[in-house]
Amino acid sequence: MAGTQATYSRKDHERAERLRYLGDIALVILGIVVVWQILHMLAGDVAISSPLATAIRAGELLGSANFWPHAGETAKALVYALVIALLIGIGVGTWLGAHKLSGAVAEPILVALYSLPKITLYPLILLIFGLGIEAKIAFGAIHGVIPVTIFTMNAVKNINRVFLRSARVMKLTTMQTVTRILLPATLPEIVSGLRVGFSLTLLGVVIGELFSSHRGMGFLVMRAIGLHDVSTMMAVTLILAVAAVAISSILLYIDNRLHRRT
C-alpha cells in the first residue's frame, strides 16, 4: 500500500528533523563559546580566561583531591535543603490545596514571598544557625520551599473532583486513594515544582557560600577572586553552571514526559 511508503518517509523526516535540532543546539553552544573567546581577546587574561584555559583548569580541578570536599559540601547542603523544601512544601501545599479558604488566604502571601529579595534575611539565618552548613541549608530551603508549595497547592486544588467521587464509588481505601489517584494526578505538577525548587535552592545555597562561608563552591569562587586567580574562578563557575544545567535538563525531561501523559 502507498501508506507504508508514507510512514517510512515520515520516520526519515523525523530523524532528519531531530538531527537538525541537535545541530542547532550545538550551534548555540558554539556561539556562546565564540562570544566568550571574543570577550577574552578583548579583556585579556587578567579579566577573562579563554574557554580552552578554563576548560583545562576545570579538568585539573575535577582531578584534584582538594576540589571534591568543596563540591561535596555544596552538594550536601543542596540535597538537605531540597529534601526539607520538598517535605514542607508538599505538606503545606497539600493542605492549602485541599482547604479552599486557607489556600485563598495564603496565595497572595506566597506570591509576595516568592518575589522578595530573600538575601536580606540571610543575616537572620546566620544569627540563628551560625556560620556552618546549617545556615546554607536553611537558606537554600527557604528559597526552594515556596515554589514547591505553590505548585503542589495548585496541583491539589485542580484535581478533578470526579476522580475522588469515583474513588468512593469504587470503594478504595484511603491508602489506595492516595497512591492510585492523588499521587498520579498531582505528580506532574509536583515535579515541575521540584524543578523550579531545585534552581532556587541551589541559588540560595550558593549565595550562602558567597557570603561569610569557608567551604563549598561559592567559597572557592570568593577565595579565587581574593587571589586574583581568574581561571580557577571561572573554572569553578563553569563546573557549577554545567552541573546545574545538566540536572535541570534531566528534571525538565521527566517533567515533560509526565505532562505529556496527562
Partner 1 sequence: MNRLTLIRTVVIVAFFGLLEILCRTGIISPFTMIPPSEMAVELWLLIASGEVARGMRQTLGNVAVACFFAITVGFAVGAGVHAVPRLRRALDPFLTTYYAVPFFVFYPLLVFIFGMNNFPMIMIGFLFAVVAMIINTLNGLDKIPRVYRKVARMHHMGRTKTALLIELPYAIPNLFTGVKLAVAYSFIGVIAAEFILAPGGLGYAISFAYDNFDNNTMYALMLFILVLVTIINMSLHAYERRLLRRQGR
Partner 2 sequence: MSHEVHARLEGVTRVYPAVAGNPPVHALGPIDLDLRKGEFFSIVGPSGCGKSTCMDVLAGLAPPTKGTVWFEDKRVHGNVPDGIGAVFQEDASFPWLTVEDNAAFGLRRAGVDAAEIRRRVEYALSFMGLKDFAKAYPAQLSGGMRQRVCIARTLVLQPRLILLDEPFGALDAQTRLLMGDELLKLWRETGATVLLITHALDEAAMLSDRIGAMSARPGRFLETVETGWSRDRDSRMLEGETFGHITGRLWQMLRSESKRAMGHEGGVA
- Residue from 251, 249, 254, 256 nearest 29 by CA: 249
Among 159, 211, 254, 258, binds partner 1 (CB under 8 A): 211
Site membership for partner 2, residue 10 (CB under 8 A): yes
Contact 105, 153 (CB under 8 A): no
Residue type, 211: F
> By CB under 8 A, is residue 48 in contact with partner 1?
yes
Work out which of 115, 168, 175, 227 binds partner 1, going by CB under 8 A. 115
If one asks whether residue 13 binds partner 2 (CB under 8 A), the answer comes out as: yes
DSSP 172: -
The answer to whether the CB of 214 falls within 8 A of the CB of 206 is no
How many Å apart are CA 133 and CA 131, to the nearest integer? 7
Partner from partner 2, partner 1, none contacting 6, C-beta within 5 to 8 A by type: partner 2
Residue written as grid cell 530551603? 141
Provide, rounded to whole angstroms, the least separation between the CB of residue 170 and partner 2.
32
Place of cell 505548585: 151
Q: At 51, phi and psi to the nearest 5?
A: -55, -45
Contact positions vs partner 2 (CB under 8 A): 6, 9-10, 13-14, 17
Interface residues toward partner 1, by CB under 8 A: 21, 24-25, 27-28, 43, 47-48, 101, 104-105, 108-109, 111-112, 115-124, 126-128, 196, 198-200, 202-203, 205-207, 210-211, 217-218, 221-222, 225, 228, 230, 233-234, 236-237, 240-241, 244-245, 247-249, 252
